[in-house]
């Protein structure tokens, strides 16, 4: 095992959607569809179609683009606000109802990093209400391990812009070499690397369907964490399973 003494790793920065849990396919997508149906808007995104919509980051931006495409004119601000608010309520209700679970190995990785004295943060450009619902329902007491949340409300520019990561590093007062980002998409990877951070891709339903070339600048691409997890691309894992020791190994290999 790589010890803390030899690894520069001091912090782990977690993306939320698709990284902690399959929130996009099983949560946000369903919530958008319910909000559209309630408002009698003829939009319904199946899992595949929603994957294409994810190219637009930000819920409100995604709704605006779809309505513009549907009607040929841009929606007004009040309608957008209304739809986004309804969608957020539906999302929180889905999470509260237990529709979403953490991805394999995520809870164990957060616990292990916490036990090893690493600092951890959530860095997302999703809204704080969605993050709150997920953390409360899925993380329980592990939430205390996450000392900082940077959410969509905290930044002017969403990922792939690096602003959210730059803000997180400023608040943690750490140099980029001391932290790793965990992401699941090319957009997230771009945001993290533009902030100078090493980034590990933990494949999600949608991230897994992107071209692997999009992940060329990632330190590694993994399928899950823990004993049953696999390294898809990147240095071989020195220890068994994709655990904290692997992240420490990757951080040490950056220098
Ligand atoms: Mg993500």
* CATH classification of the domain holding 54: 1.10.150.240
Residue 40 lies in a domain: yes
Same domain, 113 and 91: no
Same domain, 135 and 178: yes
Same domain, 84 and 171: no
Same domain, 30 and 16: no
Q: Is the pLDDT of residue 185 over 50?
A: yes
Same domain, 110 and 46: no
Same domain, 163 and 115: yes
- Across the range 187-211, mean pLDDT stands at 93
Residue 144 lies in a domain: yes
What distance in angstroms lies between residue 130's CA and the mean position of ligand 1's atoms? 13
Same domain, 88 and 112: no
Helix, strand, coil % in the chain, rounded to nearest 5: 50, 15, 35
What distance in angstroms lies between residue 4's CA and the mean position of ligand 1's atoms? 28
What is the pLDDT of the chain when averaged over all its residues?
94
Catalytic residues: 15, 17
Same domain, 29 and 18: no
Same domain, 91 and 166: no
Residue 2 lies in a domain: no
Domain containing residue 147: CATH number: 3.40.50.1000
Residues 6+ apart with CB under 8 A from 110: 14, 120, 139, 142, 145, 146
Same domain, 223 and 240: yes
Residue 5 lies in a domain: no
Same domain, 135 and 211: yes
Same domain, 125 and 90: no
241 pLDDT band (50/70/90 cuts)?
confident
What distance in angstroms lies between residue 164's CA and the mean position of ligand 1's atoms? 13
Q: Is the pLDDT of residue 2 over 60?
A: no
Residue 1 lies in a domain: no
User: What's the pLDDT score for residue 107?
Assistant: 97
- Across the range 3-32, mean pLDDT stands at 90
- Across the range 170-193, mean pLDDT stands at 96
- Across the range 144-162, mean pLDDT stands at 96
- Across the range 234-240, mean pLDDT stands at 88
* pLDDT cut 90: percent of the chain above it: 88
Q: Is the pLDDT of residue 131 over 60?
A: yes
Q: Vertex 55, ends 254 and 125: CA angle to 5°?
A: 65
User: What's the pLDDT score for residue 4?
Assistant: 47
38-47: per-residue pLDDT in tens? 999 999 999 9
Which of the two residues, 254 and 14, has the higher pLDDT score? 14
**Domain termination site, one of 66, 96, 126:** 96
What distance in angstroms lies between residue 113's CA and the mean position of ligand 1's atoms? 20
Burial of 209 (0-12, 13-18, 19+ CB in 10 A): exposed
Residue 6 lies in a domain: no
User: What's the pLDDT score for residue 238?
Assistant: 82
pTM: 0.92
137 pLDDT band (50/70/90 cuts)?
very high
**Domain termination site, one of 96, 114, 134:** 96
Domain tally, the chain: 2
User: What's the pLDDT score for residue 228?
Assistant: 87
Residue 3 lies in a domain: no
Q: Is the pLDDT of residue 51 over 70?
A: yes
What distance in angstroms lies between residue 5's CA and the mean position of ligand 1's atoms? 31
How far apart CA 229 and CA 83 sit, in angstroms, is 38
User: What's the pLDDT score for residue 209?
Assistant: 78
- Across the range 226-253, mean pLDDT stands at 92
Q: Is the pLDDT of residue 1 over 60?
A: no
Residue 152 lies in a domain: yes
What distance in angstroms lies between residue 112's CA and the mean position of ligand 1's atoms? 22
Q: Is the pLDDT of residue 82 over 70?
A: yes
Starting at the earlier edge strand, list the strands of the sheet with 179-183.
146-150, 119-123, 11-14, 179-183, 198-202, 220-223, 230-233
**Domain termination site, one of 47, 63, 96:** 96
DSSP 31-45: HHHHHHHHTT-----
Q: Is the pLDDT of residue 122 over 90?
A: yes
Long-range contacts of 162-166 (CB under 8 A, 24+ apart): 162/191, 162/192, 162/194, 162/195, 164/123, 164/124, 164/125, 164/191, 165/13, 165/123, 165/191, 165/192, 165/194, 165/195, 165/197, 166/195
Q: Which residue segment(s) compose the domain that 62 sits in?
A: 25-96
């Amino acid at each position: 095992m790589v010890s803390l003494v030899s690894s520069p790793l001091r912090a782990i920065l977690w993306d939320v959607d698709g990284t902690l849990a399959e929130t996009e396919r099983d949560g946000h997508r369903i919530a958008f569809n319910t909000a559209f149906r309630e408002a009698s808007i003829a939009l319904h995104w199946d899992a595949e179609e929603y994957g294409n919509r994810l190219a637009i980051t930000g819920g409100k931006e995604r709704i605006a683009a779809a309505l513009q495409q549907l009607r040929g004119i841009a929606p007004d601000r009040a309608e957008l606000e209304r739809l986004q608010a309804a969608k957020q309520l539906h999302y929180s209700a889905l999470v509260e109802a237990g529709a979403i679970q953490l991805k394999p190995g995520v809870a164990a990785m957060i616990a292990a990093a916490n036990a090893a004295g690493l600092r951890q943060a959530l860095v997302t450009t999703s809204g704080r209400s969605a993050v709150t619902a997920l953390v409360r329902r899925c993380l329980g007491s592990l939430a205390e391990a996450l000392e900082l949340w940077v959410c969509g409300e905290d930044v002017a520019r969403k990922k792939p812009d690096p602003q959210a990561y730059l803000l997180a590093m400023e608040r943690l007062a750490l140099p980029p070499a001391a932290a790793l980002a965990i992401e699941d998409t090319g957009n997230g990877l771009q945001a993290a690397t533009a902030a100078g951070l090493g980034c590990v891709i933990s494949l999600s339903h949608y991230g897994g369907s992107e071209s692997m070339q999009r992940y060329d600048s990632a330190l590694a691409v993994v399928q899950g964490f823990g004993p049953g997890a696999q390294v898809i691309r990147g240095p071989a894992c020195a220890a068994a399973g994709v655990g904290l020791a692997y992240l420490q190994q990757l951080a040490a290999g950056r220098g």
